[in-house]
Amino acid sequence: MADAPILVTGGAGFIGSNLVDALLARGYAVRVLDNLSTGKRENLPQSPRVELIVGDVADAGCVRRAVQGCRAVVHLAAVASVQASVDDPFGTHQSNLIGTLNLCEAMRESGVKRVLFASSAAVYGNNGEGHAIDEDTPKAPLTPYAADKLASEHYLDFYRRQHGLEPVVFRFFNIFGPRQDPSSPYSGVISIFTERAQKGLPIAVFGDGEQTRDFLYVADLVEVLVQALESPEAVEGAVNVGLNQATSLNQLLAAIGDVLGGLPEVSYQAARPGDIRHSRANNARLVQRYRLPEPPTGMRQGLAKLLGL
């Protein structure tokens, strides 16, 4: 088992490829299962300790082969865009729920126990108005994306109780950093705003820009994921992953403007349907169970790193 790889589904994507780098640096072998829908081959280093399987988590046979012989799994493969799920609920569901179920079955069959799951702050819907969201905040999925993430959590919990799987569920808030692909309107807001600002292209804000998010730099997230893989125990109960810091899009734009020394034209357009207004993590459980870098990467520092400054 010493050389058994860690399977990272979605490992050619933004968070996945940053995790792969960290795992390689710690001496692990890594297997990636990715359909390259938003991920890229170039995100993965050339290394004899990295194996890429190009395939779909919605394909049960493919998932079974990928899980075989692994020591643990990090399940990141999904359509990451909330808006994409609004536009294509059925297509999203294949990746975001059927993919999780295929993985649970494959793990049950092969006896692989530990799985980290990338759930989302989206499961809380708009229940974060005016306060930090703890894990017991009522769930209110507003979009197909959020419904699939919450349902995936329930399936993982069923396989924990029934079949001894060791799921560790993280509800990521908004992650940013290098390799977050800015090329689609479905991309994460910081990747879009920073790329457009660098190129001097106009920026569109959906809504009044006063909506808030709790942004975490990807390297800090990856530290937590590695600890969860290495921990002897998989403690039950989902864990919010954020900094308990709200940044509005208008504040984000101001920070980007400061770091770059100016901003292109900014226009305000209709808000997206199902868009969450305020999202900030109560991260007490996170800091109790895991060590975040001290201090965590701040917004301006993270932007400067992302922009290579």
Q: Does 246 bind ligand NAD (CB under 6 A)?
A: no
Q: Does 281 bind ligand UD1 (CB under 6 A)?
A: no
Among 9, 17, 95, 279, binds ligand UD1 (CB under 6 A): 279
Number of residues that bind ligand NAD (CB under 6 A): 30
Among 143, 174, 247, 283, binds ligand NAD (CB under 6 A): 174
The encoded tokens of residue 256 equal: 């980007």
Name the active-site residue from 145, 155, 159, 290: 145
- For the stretch 58-75, what's the b/e string if a residue is b when 16 or more beta carbons lie within 10 angstroms of its beta carbon? bbbebbbebbeebbbbbb
Among 12, 30, 203, 252, binds ligand NAD (CB under 6 A): 12
* Site residues (CB under 6 A) for ligand UD1, limited to 38-97: 80-82
Residue 152 touches which member of ligand NAD, ligand UD1, none, C-beta under 5-8 Å by kind: none
Number of residues that bind ligand UD1 (CB under 6 A): 22
28 tagged catalytic: no
Residue 28 or 102: which CB sits closer to ligand NAD?
Answer: 102
Smallest separation (angstroms) from ligand UD1 to the CB of 253:
10
Near ligand UD1 by CB under 6 A, which window of 43-51, 159-167, 254-262, 271-279?
A: 271-279
Q: Which amino acid is at 265?
A: E
Phi-psi domain of 169 (left: phi exceeds 0; alpha: psi -120 through 50; beta: other):
beta
Q: Which residues are catalytic?
A: 145
The residues binding ligand UD1 (CB under 6 A) are: 80-82, 120-122, 172-174, 187-189, 192, 204-206, 211, 213, 249, 272, 275, 279
The residues binding ligand NAD (CB under 6 A) are: 10, 12-16, 33-39, 56-58, 76-80, 95, 99, 118, 120, 172, 174-175, 181, 188
